[in-house]
Structure 1
Amino acid sequence: MTENKKFSIKSTSKDMLSRWFHLMTLGRALDEKAPNYLKQAIGWSYHAPYAGHDGIQLAIGQVFDRKADHLFPYYRDMLTSISAGLTAEEIILNGISKDTDVAGGGRHMSNHFAKPEWNVHNVSSCTGNHTLHAVGLARAVKQYKSKGVVFSSQGESSVSEGYVYEAINGATNEQLPVVFVFQDNGYGISVPKKDQTANRKVADNFRGMKYLKIIHCNGKDVFDSMNAMTEAKQIALETSTPVIVQANCVRMGAHSNSDKHELYRDNAELNYVTEYDPLAKFRRLLVRYKRFTEEELLAIEAEVKLEVKKAHKACLSAPDPDPASIHDFVIPESYVSEKYPEGLHNFTGNKKKLIEGLNETLKAEFRHNPDTFIWGQDIANKDKGGIFNVSKGMQQEFGKERVFNAPIAEDYIMGTANGMSRFNDKIRIVVEGAEFADYFWPAMEQFVETTHEYWRTKGQFSPNITVRLASGGYIGGGLYHSQNIEGALATFPGVRIVYPSYADDAAGLLRTSIRSKGMTVFMEPKALYNDPKASAAVPEDFEVPFGKARVRREGADLTIITYGNTTHMCVEVADKLAEDAGKQVEVIDLRSLVPLDIETILKSVAKTNKVMVVHEDKVFSGFGAEISATITEKAFDKLDAPVKRVGSEFTPVGFNRILEKAVLPNNDKIYAAAKELLAF
């Protein structure tokens, strides 16, 4: 394919050359104008100039087909975005963060250009993390036999990020049509490339990966870049395999408008990069080869000047974001159950274990919606489904395209879920985020990213993902198999968190999670998977709404608020207190942490006037602290005693059963705390 060099100064049509010169001149005019907005206190407080990347950025946008392809530009991709079709007005609106900014209405950092309706995706400021999204989206392109290619663009220094390696490894392993473009200008802010990697060309770090094609080009040269990008797209389309395009560029300006590159670049280098200005070279070629006269080029430049002036005027009068809108698009509205609006039932059939409720609901939802997928570590085997067999039998019924194993790379699992869900709104994804909740931490970068996608895009993209995590202790698992992380995850807006205690609620919440738009973390108390205490009759169509607690036991002397493993302990303690002391304790099983059923909590507090919060996680900074603070703030006048909390000690969980028992809450600890509170 490399012999098909169809673009050159002589062979390219004049119409096309004219369009390219117009786009490059427009881009450069905006690139140079952007810092003035900050100087005038209008906006554009972050601007990363692209000058010196002109050839490759023009080429990316020109080969991109918004009807079939997908593009993930990075923060320096101004000309890429213009070449892909964004107007001067759309670029400026983003730069000065106006409400009519098509990327997200001023909610994201300036210089993060996007137009989701055209498949130009809104990406994070976490450099290079969109490579994982590109791979996930390419998985959907291949799954649905679409005729598109996914383009992922970034600077060479961001290739040092671990998730970039995960993305490229995954794209080669799954043989996906992704073109990764490395725009190599030699610097990561002030860090020279030699401090990033031993290879002079960072793309060479990936040599040896099967199915991967690497193309090198001069990113300063329009024609070499066009030929490279055309070849890369052709390979990806025809073979459904990934391609890296390594484009050699120069950075003519500083990293951004807050960077002083004179502090780490000498005059010789600064003069060198100016001398190799791609736009000036392209302009000289057009005249030298007599494709254009000087007058024709001056006319195009004058046209661009008027275009920018008109766009500037329009953008200044555009509306600013409304401060009252900050709570809009935090998370989509959830699926609403008509038959079970309170998540309650009177079904008296055979009881099922919690693990059976989960397994049967997963299978039912996969039958209900053929656009449902699940992946994770160790979940797809003919005789096994995950470390606990929650997904047992699913691959046999639904096939390897919908149920499959992922690499041991939690960030890859989470990031590709984000990407694949972008393909269409029908897709529902379930991921086993890690074999144990304790191992989810490598995925946190992608988890945080996914929590604010809906808000950042002003509702243009909703990651419809259920993240399953086997959580908690009481199995003798020690430090890395006993953690509860819901308290940490609950600090991020844009995600729901549920934590069932019984088989019926597990089934009902899982169904609601999968059918809802937006992301839900589904915490599974693994000690209860096969415990008869958690067994319950489960209607086949059962649904539990988010934000609806369940009163497990009614009482008037004390309220215990709990969830997960400790729910059963609290019910047992309440029964014992009734028998021993004649005290009636109300036990509220939250089921849903985010959103939280504050109404049920406050109603119970008003009745009992004493409250104890019990959960398995640590007392210090655990989720119970939020519950306690809410009660103190909203129902202080109803309390006859301070809110009491019971949970784990502020230490890791020991492996020896003696140490585990000393750390985790149990019936005796809950009983003693309840007696103390009742006597207050």
Structure 2
Amino acid sequence: MHFRGEGGMAQELTTLASLLTREEVLSAYRLMLTSRRVDDKEIQLKQHNLVFFQISGAGHEAVQVAAGLHLSPRKDWFFPYYRDRALMLTLGMTPYQMFLGSIGAESGPDSKGRQMPSHWGMRALHVASSSSPTGTQCLQAVGFAEAGRYFLALEQGIRCAEVAEDEVVYVSLGDGTTSEGEFWESLNTACNKKLPLLYLIQDNGYAISVTVDVQTAGGSISKLVRSFPNLGVYEVDGCDFLASYATLAEAVARVRSGEGPVLVHAHVVRPYSHSLSDDERLYRPEWEREQEAQKDPLRRTAKLLQEAYGVSAEELSQLEEEVNREVNAAAEAALAEKQPPPESWPLWIYSPEVDPTSEAFATEPKFEDYAPKTMVDLLNACLRDEMARNERIVVFGEDVADASRDEVLSEVKGKGGVFKVTYGLQRLYGSRRVFNTPLAEANIIGRAIGMAMRGLKPVAEIQFFDYIWPAYMQLRNELATMRWRSGGDWSAPVVVRVPIGGYLKGGGPYHSQSGEVLFTHIPGLRVVMPSNALDANGLLRTALRCDDPVIFLEHKHLYRQTHNKAPYPGPDFMIPFGKAAAVREGEDLTIITYGATVVRSLAAAKLLAEEGVEVEILDLRSLAPYDWEAIARSVKKTNRALVVHEDCLSFGYGAEIAARIADELFAYLDAPVRRVAAKDSFVPYAPELEDVVLPQVEDVYRAAKDLLAF
């Protein structure tokens, strides 16, 4: 580990000063000063209620400018965090553009009024869209770097134009964020794969009010990570511009040489509160704040310019006046800009170019072999076909490969997923396209987001729905929001395959969960849940060809059932999202259902038919969006509605359908809207208890009889 900075010898200062000319250091100081003055101006505007949030990069300017001077917005890529104002200025963002973000202007380059200020994102500068959750960007940076390596390996004719062989993927964070698991998961993968990542840890000693000794074991993140293989570790006084410049030169050179990732631990200060929503005087003593003020990078760089480069106090004063004028003019110009028009609110929630609900995704099956195949078979066939069609598709997750090591493939049958959905794909397409991941769900989804941002089409598998929750932050706050929060500049059309559901006789509470409503509630996600093999094949192909993120729920109980088999429909069969299937026609009652309760509803309908009652059954197939037109048409015909699903009754998916029917179709109803669902319980291991908790044929039958009695 290397350390440069405070306390260094005069000889080192002389050596470092020789690295840069007077003009270069003056230019760097101007960037630092501009960054601080933009912070100051935003604070002033916030006090006059002209901007609505402010978080500063004060105290971090020197190391950020040093990093920016060694990196290129033309070939390197950036996953910054909210304090990286000076870095953004160094890359080419202007104060005017920053103020557009501050006021939430429609013309703001980072998000068009959708993101808070300092949540950087500019595709033109290779800056990925940032979000507020800390540490999530680390895994996305890893996936982005992996995708760059993937594209380099492809043939010249289909290479991505924006990949450089010696590129660096920069990711920055505060020391507090290094407590997040996603940081450690990213470091594990980056080191294991020797990815070209530059981690810049900007340690100002505080995570809001939590001190570094509470935050980090031993008080030093660089000491903690020294044992990671293939990781270069540097420590520097980040308030010392020359030391930071020299350290970043070595660090960036190491990454560009292909030696693997580098972590630079920069000690900086925080002269302002965490944000304007915080008051550091509540928890920091005055003597500590005064002591830190002596380390301020602006003060130290001004002193350096005077003592080592002969810049006069008058020159520095003149420079400050120029910067103040430029910043004030930029703020005034930005304040004249308009905020987004109210009608623009839905823009970029979903892809404006590709509509997976359209007729373009409605194709007829072309059966050549009429041998019936299971849902597992036809899911596998769809992946096989689409991977042949699109070289950008990569498949990964826990145990999805036939084997983690290529050299044993000739000796083993192969795994291919715990349910065999991905069996044989690695043998067909190689380990670059089908591979195993660590047992870490956030790692899987975070990397998938980064890959998709770069242009790959990741198909990420979460082995069981029950274990998806470590990835929920990435799914809810990152994947779903990416296109919207960046004003359409970035997108992440990931397909997340997830086995779900119960009726397993022994699955218990941790292999039988449903919970699809927790994803259908999230704007930006498409959520699909087929009930049979043919639909699974067509809907998965739509997911793979659409441009939005898709949560593709595969019911485990239905994987190998005989009742839902179908012949192979050919390599171009698709089913549009948001189109329900009428699996049974009827006049007396409408059942709206999906997943494993479709076959149970059909069984109940058969019993009712013996009594002279004809039930119409709609299989939604797609849960977000869902086919309201089909529901309305059917309920208007039958005048009765029963919603059936496997998840818990209270606050469940059926509540939305039932409420909308009652709201919009009340005049057509001859009976209340009824729901049949699981009891508000976890799914037990004992089969008899499981049968009681999950909805059965008899439950559907009785509910239908009650409705028919009105």
TM-score by length of structure 1 reads 0.96
Q: Distance in 1 between matches of 2:650 and 2:286?
A: 56
Q: Which of residues 122, 125, 133 is equivalent to 2:129?
A: 122
SS of 1:117's partner is: helix
1:32 is the counterpart of 2:63: no
CA distance, structure 2, for counterparts of residue 657 and residue 106 of structure 1: 53
Which residue number corresponds to residue 660 of structure 2?
630
1:484 aligned onto 2:503: no
Q: Show CA shifts across 1:10-60 (max 9, x none).
A: 3312332232122112111112221101111101x3322222212111112
CA contact (8 A) 1:157 1:188 kept: yes
Which shows bigger deviation, 138-147 or 2-11?
2-11
Question: Is the CA contact 2:3–2:236 (under 8 Å) kept in the aligned structure 1?
Answer: no
**Per-residue CA shift, 1:622-659, capped at 9, x if unaligned?**
11111101111110111100111111111110001111
1:84 to 78, 85, 91: 91
Aligned counterpart for 1:323 among listed residues 308, 328, 342: 342
Aligned counterparts of 2:37 and 2:644: Cα–Cα separation in 1: 61
Secondary structure of the structure 1 residue equivalent to 2:265: strand
Mapped pair 1:547 → 2:575? no
- In structure 1, distance between residues paired with 2:568 and 2:427: 24
Match of 1:557 in 2: 588
User: Who is 1:602 aligned against?
Assistant: 632
Q: Which of 374, 378, 402 pairs up with 2:395? A: 374
Could you say which residue in structure 2 is the equivalent of 1:356?
A: 377
What is the Cα deviation at residue 366 of structure 1?
0.5
Structure 1 position 306, deviation (Å): 2.4
Match of 1:443 in 2: 471
CA distance in 1, matches of 2:329, 2:360: 56
The number of residue pairs the alignment matches comes to: 675
The equivalent position to 1:462 in structure 2, one of 491, 498, 511, is: 491
- In 2, the alpha carbon distance for the partners of 1:342 and 1:129 equals 37
Name the counterpart of 1:163.
182
Q: For the residues of structure 2 that align with 1:447 and 1:341, how far apart are their CA atoms?
A: 25
Match of 1:110 in 2: 117
> CA separation of 1:84/1:74 partners in 2, compared to 1, >3 Å: closer, same or farther?
same
2:78 is the counterpart of 1:71:
yes
Write out aligned runs for 1:221-620 (5 A). 221-333=240-352, 334-336=354-356, 342=362, 345=365, 347=367, 349-382=370-403, 383-424=414-455, 427-432=456-461, 434-449=462-477, 450-476=479-505, 477-540=507-570, 541-578=572-609, 580-620=610-650
Does structure 2 conserve the Cα–Cα contact (< 8 Å) formed by 1:572 and 1:667?
yes
1:449-486 CA distance string (max 9 Å, x none): 21111111111111110010101111120101111110
Q: Which residue of 1 aligns with 2:687?
A: 657
- Residue 267 of structure 1 and its aligned partner are, at CA, apart by 1.7
The residue matched to 2:423 in structure 1 has which SS?
Answer: coil
- Aligned position for 1:182: 201
Give the 3-state SS of the residue equivalent to 2:550 in structure 1: strand
Which ranges of structure 1 fall in alignment gaps of 5 or more residues?
Answer: none
Residue 291 of structure 1, CA deviation = 4.1
Q: CA deviation at 1:85?
A: 1.2
Identity score, percent: 37
Q: Which moved more, 1:627-636 or 1:535-544?
A: 535-544
Q: Aligned equivalents of 1:173 and 1:604: distance in 2? A: 55
Amino acid at match of 1:165: W
In 1, Cα distance between equivalents of 2:451 and 2:15: 34
Segment of structure 1 superposing worse, 666-675 or 45-54: 45-54
Counterpart AA for 2:463: E
| Residue 19 in structure 1 maps to residue 50 in structure 2 | no
**C-alpha contact 1:7 1:227 (8 A) present in aligned 2:** no
Q: Name the SS for the 2:651 alignment partner.
A: coil
Q: Are 1:142 and 2:123 an aligned pair?
A: no
Deviation digits for residues 112-160 of structure 1, max 9, x if unmatched?
2221222112211011211111111111122223331111111101111
Residues 81, 114 of structure 1: 8 Å contact kept: no
CA contact (8 A) 1:64 1:71 kept: no
Cα distance in 1 for partners of 2:231, 2:201 equals 14
The separation in 2 between residues aligned to 1:604 and 1:466, in whole angstroms, is 31
Partner Cα separation in structure 1 for residue 15 and residue 438 of structure 2: 40
Return the offset for 1:495.
Answer: 0.2
What TM-score, normalized by structure 2, do the two folds share?
0.92
- Residues 9, 286 of structure 1: 8 Å contact kept: no
Is the 2:366–2:573 Cα contact (8 Å) retained in structure 1?
no
In the alignment, is the contact (CA less than 8 A) between 1:428 and 1:515 conserved in 2?
no
Distance 1:346 1:249 in 2: 64
**After the TM superposition, which of the residue ranges 45-54 and 148-157 deviates more from structure 2?**
45-54
Residue 109 of structure 1 aligns to a residue whose secondary structure is: coil
Residue 335 (structure 1) shift: 5.0
Deviation for aligned residue 1:297: 2.9
- Does the CA-based 8 Å contact 2:426-2:433 persist in structure 1? yes
Find the counterpart in structure 1 of residue 8 from structure 2: none
Cα displacement (A) at 1:513: 0.3
1:295 deviates by 3.8
Q: 1: CA distance between counterparts of 2:514 and 2:358? A: 32
| Aligned partner of 1:643 among 666, 673, 678 | 673
Aligned position for 1:49? 56
Contact 1:628 1:643 (C-alpha < 8 Å) held by counterparts = yes
SS at match of 2:664: helix
What is the CA-CA distance between 1:347 and the residue it aligns to?
A: 4.8
SS in structure 1 of the partner of residue 218 of structure 2? coil
- Aligned-partner SS, 1:422: helix
Instruction: Say whether the 8 Å CA contact 2:460–2:494 is kept in structure 1.
Output: yes
Alignment match of 2:238 (pick from 212, 219, 235): 219
How far the C-alpha of 1:560 sits from its partner, in A, is: 0.6
Distance between the aligned counterparts of 2:438 and 2:140, measured in 1? 16
SS of match in other structure, 1:421: helix
Rounded to whole Å, the distance in 2 between the matches of 1:496 and 1:28 is: 42
Measure the CA separation in 2 of the matches of 1:675 and 1:493: 36
* Aligned CA distance change for structure 1 residues 402 and 335 (closer, same or farther; 3 Å): farther
Contact 1:343 1:548 (C-alpha < 8 Å) held by counterparts: no
Work out the CA distance in 2 between the residues paired with 1:672 and 1:3: 74
Distance 1:163 1:39, change over 3 A: same
**Contact 1:52 1:273 (C-alpha < 8 Å) held by counterparts:** no
SS of residue matched to 2:198 = strand
Q: Which amino acid letter does the alignment assign opposite residue 616 of structure 1?
A: E
In 2, the alpha carbon distance for the partners of 1:340 and 1:420 equals 26
More off after superposition, 326-335 vs 646-655: 326-335
Equivalent-residue separation in structure 1 for 2:646 and 2:215 (angstroms): 43
Structure 2 Cα separation of the partners of residues 499 and 313 of structure 1: 52
- Does structure 2 retain, via aligned residues, the 8 Å contact 1:49–1:76? yes
Contact residue 194 and residue 260 of structure 2 kept, 8 A: yes
Rounded to whole Å, the distance in 1 between the matches of 2:430 and 2:613 is 54
User: Which residue in 2 is equivalent to 1:154?
Assistant: 173
Note the C-alpha offset of 1:338.
Answer: 8.4
Contact 1:2 1:231 in 2 (8 A): no
Aligned pair partner of 1:133 in 123, 130, 140: 140
Q: Which amino acid aligns with 1:167?
A: S
